[in-house]
Structure 1
Amino acid sequence: MTTGQGLTAAQVAAAKPNHVPKRSSRSLAAIVRANFCTLFNLVIGVLWLLILIFGEWQDSVFGLIMLANVLVGVVQELRAKRTLDRLAVVSQSPVTVRRDGREQEIAPDRVVLGDLVLLSPGDNLLVDGEVVESAGLEVDESLLTGEADPVLKRPGDRVLSGSFAVAGTGAFTATAVGTDAYAVRLAEEAARFHLSHSELRDGIKKFIRYVTWLVIPIGALLMYSQLRHSVDFGTAITGAVAGIVTMIPEGLVLMTSIAFAIGVVRLGRRRCLVQELPAIEGLARVDVLCLDKTGTLTAGGMELDQILPLRDGEPVGDALAALAAADPRPNATARAILERHPAAPWRARAAVPFSSARKWSGADFGPHGVWVLGAPDVLLSDGEEGYTRAAGLSATGARVLALCRTDKLPESGTPEVEPVALVTLKQRIRPDARETLRYFDKQGVTVKVISGDSPAAVSAIAVDLGIPGGERAVDARTLPDDPDELAETLDANTVFGRVTPQQKRLFVGALQARGHTVAMTGDGVNDVLALKDADLGIAMGAGSPATKAVAQVVLLDNTFATLPHVVGEGRRVLANIERVSGLFLTKTFFAIVLALTTGVAGMMFPFTPRHSTLVNALTIGIPALFLALAPTLERAKPGFVPRVLRFAVPAGVFCALAVLAAYAAAATGSLEQDRTSAVLALFLTTWWVLVLVARPLTRGRIVLVAAMAGLFALALAIPAVRELFTLEPGGVRADLIAVGVSVAAAAALSAVLKATGTLRT
């Protein structure tokens, strides 16, 4: 067997396969541990046991709610896991190998040690190997080494997994597979359930950390106070547990996980693969969207339109057919030429493959001459024959190429050429592009079109789509090298042509340096570096494996119209999590103030766990679930932690003051009646907090807050429910006092929030 034939079936069966430990998403055990094994659940579990031993069963309902919350969180994350895993398999790109002399596409995990793996532009290298065939094969190793320039690979050279082919074709023998390969980083990380940096998650972790340090000493003080001033041990334990449980925002982390998980499932239904969960947060923060024209604004594939000779008597058709056939894995341009000219009469002696950096390709056909095909404004000089004509054609939106003769193919740089003909190709604008661009304009997201095509061609497409500033296309070859000057030019313009892959990366960095959150879309290898550096990389499902490997979001159906749903889902998650964070932390600060006051004053805690369970369910638990999943178009803003604290701290303080005032003023002589007055004040004030959080009050939100008030009224009206929650109204006087102090606290809170600019409109 020769090297070029690849392995035989028997050798494949005996060879080591490319098995890599599955890391596509968290396992069931990991999901259960993450939702169940938390510090707060441990604290609540201990308190639950204390109530079961020393208190009454009605006061232990909070423990059942904790278990229900954990179950809901596990179920939602399992749904997200299934969605991620299913879409990850769909988006997985096959590997082309040669076995028994035949080419075949196989799944990445079916590659074996010794396989002959074939490469074409855009292919990921998923295993390590040694090059055995090279036809101008160039490999980008920037994701491994940081060096941006592609490396020309010759037979005998080593190649590593994590790099990708950008030009030419070739083949290599797999020398390390599975866990022996060089990390197999890109393809494995692509579908991983990844909890990377997230301002939202980091902010919630800060809340949890601060509350944990507060709960321990305040809980100890409250426990000591209740045991010291109560004649009944069970009553003391019940009061202390009520204060400690209320301090814990146990549902906040759960609600965040549910919102993220449901976001993944919703986007999955639209055939959108979210490869990193925090990408959902990034979706909401995007204010600049960089679009690559080809494959994003225009549909994939092209059609050969016109061949315009610049010289008579030249074999233009034969030259085009031969150049297209010289590439064993033709790109879209070559395929369009081959559809019109399928016969290739000449055989190439040497060839230079097309690359985004060169913007031309060529081949030496011996007695038929050396021919080059590429961008007119790269191959031709201003004033040269065909240059002006090509510029006029580009201005109509056509893609124009120049077919030229030359003496020899250069090893680097651009050859000296004689123009022979101009070739135009048609590009189809995506039917959904206009509507999608209008959406981003309304949402305040600035669109930047950056393309490797000529500025005139890109400008024509942009004008046709109604992109603001589309008529002023900038030639990227004239852009300054200084980062500040580059950023100013980017801010002032919208459309850029002749952008190199390295410049796309610089564009993203310059925009980020100006404080922008940048999303980048693309489908070709020339977009990989920019996709990797962008705050949010969005790849098309039909794009190269390299782009899908580094992107956080993959549009599997290649539908540009999916992007508004993607951004909308991110905004829904972030805006709503901020809402429910205000609810949960209001409860926490309210409980801290109340626990400190009762602990220092040595008074009985104003309510029991069953009371807090009822009020928390109606003003936090149930509403938070609906609010977290409600639609919204609010753009996310930085400063999540201080913004939530500015709302929750005063809200918690006023709720605590209302409860203390109602409890102290009731003075009925019955602990149950005094506590009922406190519960009434607690519900009314926290219900008002719910109203403030739900603003602006849409019809659905009005129904929600009204329903919660109605359920509480039913709890007071139905004897069996009153008995279950030990609610004993203390008469008209006590009830009026509770209502009065609640109204006063609500008015004062609204005034404070309005004065500080925190009140929602």
Structure 2
Amino acid sequence: MTHFFALMLWCAAGLAFIADMPQLAVAIIVVVIVNGVFAHIQQERAQHAAAKLRGLLPADVVVRRDGKVRKVHASELVVGDVVLLAAGDRVPADMVLLTASACAVDESMLTGESEPVPKAPGGQAWGGTFLVNGYGEATVSATGAGTRLAGIAALTSGAVAPPTPLSMELRRIVRVTAGMALGIAAVFFLASLLVGFQWRDSFLFSIGVAVALVPEGLLPTVTLSLAMGAQRMASRKGLVRNLEAVETLGSTTFICTDKTGTLTQNRMNAVEVFTPEGSIQVTGEGYAPEAQIEGRGVEKAAQAALAARTASQGRAELHDGQWRAQGDPMEAAMDVLARRLTGTVSAPVPSRRLPFDPVRRRESAIVGPDLYCKGAPKPSFRCADPCRDRSRNRWR
């Protein structure tokens, strides 16, 4: 309603009323209002889509209060609360880790780096990040507007966006059109006085000429074109919240990026498994459990995949009809591989976990009398006496 071009149309409508042309004035007003309502609806649809994306975020967290473990809404957290974190959890506020067992945090939403950052006791975990591995406890140090993520949001909201190429071009067209309309109206006003018209009739005549030269249809034409571009972007999974951003993206010549998950999908798949009986090839899309299996040694490969899944914490879960990684993408790929080879959905529940660490170079899980391991064949150190059977000179 207050676009630079719309302001010119409002002025034209006012001049049309002065020139005793109410039908034309009403038509111009209707064009401006319809155009504004259409643009508002289009952008509201994008806002609702963004709100749905925000609604996918977990709202509940597990805390320890008064010695009891309970689940509360993230908005109820206060400074000093002790939060229990596990792989796949979103960090609900800025906090300091009290205990950390092989914790790794995905801080890509803050730094742009997709590689998980290892965390130790005393380290800082920022609100909005994800714990992709391990588990631990942390005490809340800042909530809400005091978090680092909120500080970044304040910086971005306070920045003044430069005018888009489309808005600059439209302003130039409006200035040129308005100048031409006023100039030609002035010429007709003087000409009508010279031929004997009364000044009032000459003035109304010149106003009619000026209003007639204003292109009322240009504004809705531009809006409809941008709306069509936004719809095409939406069909390609691109969410445009501001209509003028469609033309700005069209003016982009280079997009430079090197971030996993930005240029790529940050999604992994196990495509080949080697066993003493041979190798098998696995062909499947995404994290769906369906795949085509070829090769020898499927039974041994299934046992290896089951062991890897049991020793992993990441899983592939079905959300709104789509399979997504919950936790580390590599561990989710191990879970999917086990599903594809064994046909089982659930994994054994370990009685104890030994998280991955850089010394052992492996992650383990104990299920009954069995120990499932995932990682390097040998650790990066020679084991102490309790871990080694000297009589047989081999690893237990």
**What interval of TM-score do these two structures reach, taking the shorter chain for normalisation?**
0.5 to 0.7
| 1:685-730, Cα deviation, whole Å (9 max, x unpaired) | xxxxxxxxxxxxxxxxxxxxxxxxxxxxxxxxxxxxxxxxxxxxxx
Distance 1:248 1:419, change over 3 A: farther
State the Cα distance separating 1:47 from its structure 2 match: 1.9
Deviation at 1:143, TM superposition (A): 4.7
- Tell me which amino acid in the other structure corresponds to 1:251: P
Q: Superposition RMSD on alpha carbons, in Å?
A: 5.3
Query: Any idea what the Cα deviations from partners look like across 1:133-172, whole Å, max 9, x if unmatched?
Result: 2111122445545667643222222222354334322232
Matched, 1:259 2:228: yes
In the TM superposition, residue 89 of structure 1 has moved relative to its aligned partner by: 4.7
For the residues of structure 2 that align with 1:47 and 1:259, how far apart are their CA atoms? 28
**Given residue 356 of structure 2, which amino acid in structure 1 is its aligned partner?**
V
Pairwise mapping of residues 221-300 of structure 1 onto structure 2 (< 5 A)? 221-230=183-192, 231=197, 232-233=201-202, 234-243=204-213, 245-246=214-215, 249-256=218-225, 258-259=227-228, 274=239, 290=264, 292-294=267-269, 297-300=285-288
Cα 1:353–1:228 shift into 2, 3 Å = farther
CA 1:131–1:307: 2 relative to 1, 3 Å: same
- Asked whether the 8 Å contact 2:31–2:220 carries over to 1, the reply is no
Is 2:103–2:136's contact at 8 Å kept on the other side of the alignment? Answer: yes
The alpha-carbon distance between structure 1 residues 121 and 302, as it changes in their structure 2 partners (threshold 3 A), is farther
Q: Cα deviation per residue 1:166-222 (whole Å; 9 max; x = unaligned)?
A: 432223222111111112479999xx9xx989xxx9442232132133134323312
Counterpart in 2 of 1:102? 69
Contact 2:312 2:363 in 1 (8 A): no
More strand by share: 2
Distance 1:159 1:317, change over 3 A: closer
Q: Which residue of 2 aligns with 1:219?
A: 181
Residues 82 and 139, structure 2, Cα contact 8 Å, conserved in 1: yes
Q: CA separation in 1, counterparts of 2:189 and 2:314?
A: 88
SS of 2:80's equivalent? coil
1:177 aligned onto 2:170: no
State the distance in 2 between where 1:52 and 1:117 align: 66
How far apart are the structure 2 equivalents of 1:321 and 1:409?
27
Change (3 A) 1:142 1:49: closer
The reply on whether 1:352 has 2:356 as its aligned counterpart is yes
How far apart are the structure 2 equivalents of 1:306 and 1:62?
75
Letter matched to residue 153 of structure 1 = K
- Paired with 2:382 and 2:132, the residues of 1 have a C-alpha distance of 19
Aligned position for 1:635: none
Asked if 1:77 is matched to 2:38, the reply is: no
- Report the alpha carbon displacement of residue 58 of structure 1 after superposing the two structures with TM: 3.3
Unaligned runs of 5+ in 2: 256-261, 271-283, 292-297, 316-326, 384-392
For normalisation by structure 1, the TM-score amounts to: 0.34
- What number of residue pairs does the alignment pair up? 322
Distance 1:146 1:58 in 2: 56
Instruction: State whether residues 310 and 365 of structure 2, in contact with CA within 8 Å, keep that contact through their aligned partners in structure 1.
Output: no
Greater helix percent: which structure? 1
Per-residue Cα deviation, 1:70-112 (whole angstroms, up to 9, x for no partner): 2333344334434443x235422344323453354x6543444
Is 1:129 aligned with 2:95? yes
Q: Which residue of 2 aligns with 1:115?
A: 81
Residue matched to 1:362: 363
The separation in 2 between residues aligned to 1:173 and 1:369, in whole angstroms, is 35
Task: Show CA shifts across 1:637-675 (max 9, x none).
Answer: xxxxxxxxxxxxxxxxxxxxxxxxxxxxxxxxxxxxxxx
On the 8 A contact 1:120/1:170 being kept in 2, the answer is: yes
Mapping of 1:134-149 within 5 angstroms? Answer: 134-141=100-107, 143-145=109-111
- Alignment match, 2:374: 373
Residue 54 of structure 1 aligns to which amino acid in structure 2?
Answer: A
Q: CA deviation at 1:49?
A: 1.4
Q: Distance in 1 between matches of 2:350 and 2:55?
A: 36
The alpha-carbon distance between structure 1 residues 177 and 343, as it changes in their structure 2 partners (threshold 3 A), is closer
Q: Is the aligned partner of 1:93 residue 2:58? A: yes
> Deviations 1:508-530 (Å, cap 9, x if unpaired)?
xxxxxxxxxxxxxxxxxxxxxxx
Answer yes or no: is the 8 Å Cα contact 1:321–1:343 preserved in 2. no
Once the two structures are TM-superposed, the CA of residue 361 in structure 1 deviates from its matched residue by 3.1
